[in-house]
Structures are given as structure tokens and as C-alpha cells.
Amino acid sequence: MTKTLTPPVAKKVPHTLTHHQHQRTDNYYWMRDDNRQDTQILDHLHAENAYCEAMMSDHKALQDQLFEEMKGRIVKDDSTVPVKDGRFWYMSEVSGDDEYARHYRGSDEALSDKQLLLDVNQLAEAYEFFELGDMAVSPNDNLLAYSEDTDGRRIYTVRFKDLQSGEMLPDVLTETEGEVVWANDSKTVFYVRKDLQTLLGYQVYRHVLGTPQSDDQLVYEEQDRQFYMGLGKSRDESEIYIHLAATETTDILALSADEPLGEFAPLLARTPGHEYGLDKLGEYYYLVSNREAKNFRLLRATKETLSEPEQWEELIAHREHVLLEGMELFHSHYVVTERELGQIRFVVHDYSGSSYQLKFDDACFYAGLGYNPEPEAETVRIYYSSLTTPSSIYDFALAGGKKTLKKQQRVLGEFNSEHYASERLHIRVRDGVEVPVSLVYRKDRFNKDGTNPLLQYGYGAYGITIDPNFSSNTLSLLDRGFVYAIAHIRGSEMLGRNWYEQGKKAHKQNSFNDFEDVTRALVEQGYGAADKIFASGGSAGGLLMGAVVNQAPELYRGIGCHVPFLDVLTTMLDESIPLTTNEYDEWGNPNDEADYHTILAYSPYDNLRAADYPNILVTTGLHDSQVQYWEPMKWVAKLRELKTDSNLMLFKTDMDAGHGGASGRFKSLHDKALEMAFFIGLLEG
């Protein structure tokens, strides 16, 4: 990477922002265009793309090789494990070079009479971007509702198909959140309508098949825009739910699924700070609640006692060091997901008080409940993976826990799990806490002598835990001698609810310090060479990257910064931008002076300065609805202006994609190949 082409230089138009008697000058505020039609902005993005391509041209062969390696590990003809839901078994298949799946059902597990429900390849044919959202079969099994996003902004259109005739119904629902829930009459559906400015779902509508969308009835509107809105149905399918979730508060409204023309009513009084998950099976409601329980506990109530928390029956008490993450109800048992010392586990309980834990082999792994639509099932389906074990699907017998492997992801080529090793470390950081770190390497390429290149990944927000999951793509780095490490920094729930709370709002700086201190420790312990350390993160993990390169740029040779949240203060002050008001409980509300100064202290865009920065690759999507394209665009322009080094600063915008990047199973590999080629190319000089 020795080219000396001139990077694009953006014009400066000073724009003054004043809050709490504090002034900021933003020279690149002009880059925001909500309509994404300003030719000056689009021309600049195209120029950045051309510069990125030119600067990476020496490594085009490497990028192509990495793409082919990753693609070559993917089984072209593959299918999911069939799952029974009602009278039918459902599964999907991909074949050849198809980017998308075909969805089928049949009357037996072998799908000997399989019926094609949807061919997503056909649906996507006319679009540069396509994402299938929800698929929901009507209770009488005759109709299919599905939603599609064709520009990456997560604004979905819902369509309906008659599964008996194969014909499409004339009903089309636009500007939705994507979810569809059927009432039990198989002719009424509920959906969430989006605010096209903020892109938040805030209204629930009822639609009766055969009527125009303009006749749909508004059945609920949420006035408090701090809440995300979703829909669901109870385990016994007797109730339809409106789920409302702010960062620190939950609310659920219910309607009888047999009376779709009725009104939704709150199940519990909305109480600030009360977070809970709820489901219903038979006469009981089950709640995973943080009421008087920071790490949550499991409770049970009847319709009569549900509104009286003092009368709830406790099934699993609160525990100081065990996070209760969720539950799945069956007629004979219920399965709870727990996390202790960062590790997930599943405990099966019967309704008489007996319980046992499901067993796995690896010491460090990720597992999650699979799709288990049938409460009368005698097995529970679980997804399992580790840094060295490809994705696996198991069925566990609820009575006794006998384990049956239904399928393990095949990795084509020369992959052998015995060639790789993973470790779980606990690294003490500057304020004395120990941060878990999961890492993996190829045994014959790793010496622990401080010579290996190392890629460290992190996220650290919203309580989202990045578990050690298998990635066949990462093999391309491991096979070249890289160590791959996941830093489970504060802001996740890896070590329970307190771990999350210590990484948000006024404590957000902990996330950045944790990541930096983990890097230093991994170098000190010989896992990586001091001059070969790379880091990568996306979205809130992109904020992490921006903050870390401001406070410790000397640690990293290269940074991957993807769909990054970088202009935190300006965004959080603008309630017209999607997601802003929902995020006050995560980042703080900068309309409050104390929160303003907390965010100002770390906001990556506001803290850029004249200094040497690492080599940096930034990627985004023009149609990103979560982090707007102009955040990385402004950050790159300002960093180009201020940085005092000659290191690479590359910026690529996918002009067709949104927050999730390119659609399809192969297209997205091009972005991964670009980042890998960027890192490897820096080592090659």
C-alpha cells in the first residue's frame, strides 16, 4: 500500500452549534441530506469510493483470493433442519450460487410432499438490495404473510399469498416495521406502522383481508418515543401482544386472539425501571422480571393475580452472580437460559420443582434456543457453536436431556477443528475489574512469543453480549497466523446486569478503557506483536473504535470501523433522527447539561485532534437507518483535515445498502474480504 494518490478533500462550511452555553463549530454539518439526493454529497461519496478502490488496487488479487476462500468454505447446496409447526414441517434450502433461500413445507419430517412457499431469489431479482423480513402462516395454514425491504432502510412492505392456489392476494401493507401477527380467525392481521422521519414504529394497525390499507384501523399509538414497538403472540396462541421496550422499562398490552375487533389493554401498570419478559401457557403467565432482582427472577401469576405483583409466585429466585436471560415454555417442562461467569447454560425444570442442566463439551461456547414453535414438543431445539466448533443444531429430550445432533455446519476445504485452539482469559483492567476475553488461533501458527498479528473485536453497548461463535470467514485470518480475540467489555451483559450498567451513560468511558487495557495485556502476555495489532467494530462498536483511536492511537496498526456511530453528541441532540429518543437511557439525554458534558468528553467526532492516527478503513451504507451515512462521512473528512500522519484513511459507502450491509449470502463476503485485505496488506507493506 505505497500509492500516493491524493485523497478527496471536503469543503469546510462552518456551522455553529450552541447548547448549555457551550459552542461547537462543525465544518462538515453540510454533509447531511435526509433525502440522499444532493449531487455534491453523492459525488464526494463516489470520489471516496474511487480513492478506496485505487488505494487497494495493489491488493485486489488478495481481496479476490480471500473472497474465493470464504465462498469456497460455504456449502452451496444446503438446507435447514425441518421444524414442526402445527400440521406441517417447515424448512428452507439454498442451492448453487443463489444468494437467497427457498422456503418449503410438507406434511412429514422428510418433506416428501414438499410445497414451495417462497423463492426469495425470485423476489429479489429486480433489486440491488433485498431482505426478507417476517414470514407468518395463518392459523388455518392456508395463507402466508411476508414482508420485504428493498432499500436497506428497514421499511417493510407486507404481502400475502394464498398457499392453496399459489396466487398473491391484492392486499399490500406499506411503511411497516415488518412484523405480522395473525388473529385466530385467519383473516385479521396486526402490524406496526413506521414514522418515516424517525423510522420508529409507533402505531399498531388492524387489517382485515380483502379491504384496502386506507381502511385499516389504528388500534394503538405510543406517545412516548423512547419505546421500541413490536408484536407477538402468546405461547398458547390465545393472546396477541404489543411489546413496548425502552432501555430501562417494559410495557406489554394484550388482546384476545379470538376477538380481534376488541381493544388492547395493559397487562401490568407501566413502571419506570421495571423490565420483564412475559409469556402465557394455559392458565398461567410467566414473567422474567427485574422487580426487586437486578439479574432477574422467574415468577408465575394467574389472570387474577397478574396485576398484583405481591401475589406473584416465585419459581426461580434472584441470584447475585447468575443472570436469568429468558425462558421457553412447554407443556411438560420449561427451559431457562442463564449466564454465570460469562457462560451461557440451559436448565430444564418440570412443574413439580425438579431441574437439571443440559450438558455441552466445550469450556467456552455460545448456545441459544432454536425455533421451538410447539409447546407440546418432547424435545427442545438448541443452536450450539464455539470458536472452534461449527454451528450445530441439537435436539434435547426434555425428560432426561438425551442429546441428538440433528446437523452440524459443513465447512468445505481443509478445515479440521483439531488444528485450532480457543482460550478464555480474564484480564484485570485499570480499575481492578476482570474483563473476559475469548480468543482463538491456529495451533501450528501460534507461538505466544509476541510475534503474531492479532485482531481484537469489541462492541460493548445495549447489554448485547458478543458470544464466542464459530466463523468460517475468520479462518482466512487464523490460517495466516492471526490471533482473533473478542473483548467482552462493560456495556454487554457478559457478567450480568451490573456489567451492562457499568458501561453506559455516565460510565461509558469504562467500555473504552476496558478495550484499550485488554489490548495492552494481550501484547504483554505474548498473544500479539506490539506492531501488528488490529481492531474492528461496527455500529456501537464503531463508536468504540472512534473513541479508542482518540485515546490510544499508538496501540493499533489498523482499524476497521463499520457503520459507525461517531457523531454522538449532535445525533443525540436531534430528535428527528431515527433512534435518538429511544437511546437516552443508553447514552444519556444531552438536553441535560451533565449528560451533555459526559457525551462531549468521548464523542469521537468532537474529540478528533491533530495527532498521528492508525491506518483506518471505514465502511457504511447510504441508506443506513440506524447510523446515518453522514456520521462516518463527516468523521473521515475531519480526520483527514487534522491527522498528522501519512497512514491510510479509506472510506467506502455501499450506495445500495443499509445498516446490515450488502444482502445475500455471498455479496456480503466482499466487505469482509476488503477488511481482511486491508489488514493483511498493511503487514505486507
DSSP state of 81: P
Catalytic residue among 98, 251, 517, 624: 624
Q: For 107-116, which contacts have Cβ atoms below 8 Å and span 24 or more sequence positions?
A: 109/82, 109/84, 110/82, 111/82, 115/163
Active site residue 479: no
Alpha carbon distance 271, 185 (integer Å): 33
* Strand boundaries in 152-307, DSSP class E: 156-162, 168-176, 181-182, 188-194, 201-208, 217-221, 228-233, 239-245, 250-256, 265-266, 276-281, 284-289, 297-302
Residue type, 458: G
Alpha carbon distance 522, 474 (integer Å): 19
Active site residue 488: no
- Quick check: 105 and 132 in contact, CB under 8 A? no
DSSP assignment of 272-299 equals TT--EEEEEETTEEEEEE-TT-TT-EEE
Positive or negative: CA dihedral 607, 463, 470, 134? negative
Nearest to residue 497, comparing CAs of 526, 462, 467, 523? 462
Catalytic residue among 659, 663, 668, 671: 659
Catalytic residue among 472, 511, 539, 668: 539
- Quick check: 83 and 395 in contact, CB under 8 A? no
User: What SS3 class is residue 191?
Assistant: strand
Q: How many CB atoms lie within 10 A of CB 514?
A: 27
371-404 per-residue burial string, b: 16 or more CB within 10 A, e: under 16: ebeebebebbbbebbbbbbbbbbbbbebeeeeee
Helix, strand and coil in the chain, % to nearest 5: 20, 35, 45
Output the nine-digit C-alpha cell for 202: 409507533
H-helix or E-strand spanning residue 424: strand 420-428
From the number of C-beta atoms within 10 Å of its C-beta (0-12, 13-18, 19+), residue 345 rates as middle
Alpha carbon distance 446, 469 (integer Å): 20
Output the nine-digit C-alpha cell for 538: 461496527
Active site residue 659: yes
- Residue positions annotated with a catalytic role: 539, 624, 659
